[in-house]
Amino acid sequence: MSTVKLTVNGKAVAVDVEDRTLLVQLLRDHLNLTGTHVGCDTSQCGACVVHMDGRAVKSCTMLAGQADGASITTIEGIAKGDELHPMQAAFRDNHGLQCGYCTPGMIMSAIDIVQRHGGQLDEATVRHELEGNICRCTGYHNIVKAVLDAAGRMKVAQAAE
C-alpha cells in the first residue's frame, strides 16, 4: 500500500491504494468520480482520458502512483458551476454523443487538441488527432463538428478573458 497525494479537480486529496492501482481505479473506485470510463484496457479507445498537469493522458494505462504530486482534471471538473465548458456545450449542441460512454474521454481529448492547435484546426487535423478515441455510435461526423465548433467558442472565450 502507498499513499498517493494529488490534486483532483482543484481539491487536494491523499488516497491509500495498493501499489498496482491504476489512476482510473483511484478516480472511479476511491474518489467515486465515475465519469471517467474504461472501454478497452489497452490504451486504444480513450474513454479513460483525463488531464494530468494540463495534458491529456489515458488513466487506464498509468499507475495511480505515477500521478503522485500531479494535478488531475476529470470530466467532472471542467464546467464552472452551471456553466458548461465550451467543449461540453458544443458536444450537446452538435449532437456529438449518443450513448455517452466514450463522451467524457472524447471531450477531455478534444480540449487538449484545441489547446495544442489553437486556431489552426481543420477537419483533417481533428480526425487525425482523434485517432486514440473510439466511438461506436456517432460515426464521428458530429464529434468532428463539435470539436471545430468548440475551437471557435474557446477562442472567443479566451479573447474575452
Partner 1 sequence: MGVEGIGARVVRKEDKRFITGKGRYVDDIKLTGMTHAYFIRSPHAHAKVKGIDSSAALKMPGVVAVLTGKQLVDDKVGNLICGWAITSKDGSPMKMGAWPAMAPETVRFVGQAVAVVIAESKNLARDAAEVVVVDYEELPAVADMHAAIKAGAPQLHPEAPGNQVYDWVIGDESATDAAFAKAANVVKLDVTNNRLAPNAMEPRAAIADYDAAEEHFTLYTTSQNPHVARLVLSAFYNIAPEHKLRVIAPDVGGGFGSKIFIYPEEMVALWASKKVGRPVKWTGDRTEAFLTDAHGRDHITHAEMAFDANNKIIGLKVKTYANFGAYMSLFSSSVPTYLYATLLSGQYNIPAIHAEVIGVYTNTTPVDAYRGAGRPEASYLIERLMETAARQLNVDPAQLRRTNFITQFPHQTPVIMAYDTGDFNASLDAAMKAIDYAGFPARKAKAKADGKLRGIGVSCYIEACGIAPSKAVGSLGAGVGLWESAEVRVNPVGTIEILTGSHSHGQGHETTFCQLVAERLGVPISQVSIVHGDTDKVQFGMGTYGSRSAAVGLTAILKAMEKMESKAKKIAAHALEASEGDIVIENGEFKVAGTDKAIAFPMVALAAYTAHNLPDGMEPGLKESAFYDPTNFTFPAGAYICELEVDPGTGKTSFVNFVAADDFGRLINPMIVEGQVHGGLVQGIGQALLEHAIYDANGQPVTASFMDYAMPRADDVPSFNLSHTTTLCPGNPLGIKGCGEAGAIGASAAVINAITDAIGKNNLEMPATPDRVWRTIHAA
Q: Which residue from 5, 55, 116, 141 is in contact with partner 1, where contact means CB under 8 A?
A: 141
Phi-psi region of 139 (alpha: psi -120 to 50; beta: other; left: phi over 0): left
131 binds partner 1 (CB under 8 A): yes
Q: How far is the CB of 87 from partner 1 (least distance, A)?
A: 9
Range list of β-strands (E), 1-117: 2-8, 11-17, 49-52, 55-58, 71-73
Q: Which residue from 98, 115, 117, 153 is in contact with partner 1, where contact means CB under 8 A?
A: 98
133 binds partner 1 (CB under 8 A): yes
DSSP class of residue 54 equals T
Interacting span for partner 1 (CB under 8 A) from 51-59, 68-76, 114-122, 149-157: 68-76
List of long-range contacts for 24-29, beta carbons under 8 Å, 24+ apart: 24/48, 24/59, 24/60, 25/64, 26/64, 26/67, 27/59, 27/72, 27/74
Interacting span for partner 1 (CB under 8 A) from 62-70, 114-122, 135-143, 153-161: 135-143
53 binds partner 1 (CB under 8 A): no
The β-bridge partners of 7 are 12, 71
In the numeric block, which cell numbers belong to residue 89? 456545450
Q: How far is the CB of 16 from partner 1 (least distance, A)?
A: 14
Cα separation, 101 vs 37, whole angstroms:
7
Residues that bind partner 1 in the complex, under the rule CB under 8 A: 18, 20, 28, 33-42, 44-45, 47, 74-76, 79, 84, 88, 91-93, 95, 97-104, 107, 123-124, 126-128, 130-131, 133-144
